[in-house]
Chains A and B, each alone.
Chain A
């Protein structure tokens, strides 16, 4: 009885509301204010950034153009088996005639031709040729004969297999081309011939160059960071400015400086010729190839390595190495066993950061990379603005994004996103 009474007795605030409820309300109020403060930016980033990225990911599997241009064909072709050895029935050909004529009059059918041309070359010209002739024709008795009469290719099985394969709302074909694979006509997957593997070569080159650049920034950045961490604060502040100056200088300024330095008639070649190391026609090709990309990007990304390394090294007390020395370690051992292990976190942080930045770099490789030193980003840009194969651009982008996100999670594990500091 007494226990029951005790639990019933609730502490209340002055206006009679239970204290628990009141506290909950106050806490919720504070949470609400915090959320309300973040909400505008969250919505803004959502609309201007996250939805566009999501939209791009959808585009990489979107195949609605086929069902838009061939609305009745995609329905009729359901009755036809992919491994059938006969052509589709007359109804399917009638549907093809109807859809094709409508598309030809609206002048939209060539877009579908271009889309299917990504899968099989010759489709674009087949569509153009058929579209020119079909406009004048009335609905025929036998659409099969008419279509094959327009172009013999309509009687080929592999064309129908292609249409059947791509008749769905979504397609994996952009991703397949992005990894140099293709669907064979019987529906199984296979890698393209070695000499046609463009994108795997490109991904491999991007990763190889990014790794080289990361290693170079570690090799060049480590001594600098060490120097900055061990000299007097005044000197170190001055050295930081020397590191920050290139960091703050426009990317294009630095890239054009490297063009001036590295080109055939550039400063470095001029000097080498002037001091007689090279003959005038033996000038080195240091630009518009991999070398150009590596040198310029190492220069541009070096500060991103030095700054995290420096901030880690600053926290290592010099007495640790001195202690190791006093116990008989050689300078080399003291460095390898005491100093280096303590800077691993900095190397990790800087290394992942540089690698993330390098793997998605576009401007510098575009200007100094020529054809041999371009990265995956340059191909994404090429497919957006020149070849107009947006689906493939989106698929390549999605793969690159996945790579970066994995590295980002790794970075979070090593450094922690909230520990990110600037300047």
Chain B
């Protein structure tokens, strides 16, 4: 578990460093996600070499187990920031109910537009294949 966690943290660290160095508007952890993805692709492409040189926890599924454990509790990790927001709700109160209405309406519109576009394009492509 420690080795898996070390790899995940190292990917994040490298991601943060790249984000800072290049100034791209992508969070460091997202770049870390891409780096970890590259690691997984390369590891499985050269599985035999990887099994020989990498520590066993990185190739026997323990790494994936550590990742699954983190993702299963993603909800938990928003609690500290969320509890801080409760104390700052006064900044919303200044602007009245308008902001709450805007947030709800805009979020619903965005959800619907995104999902419908996805479904339509995917259906359109499938019908194109059939023709």
Whether both chains belong to one complex is answered with no
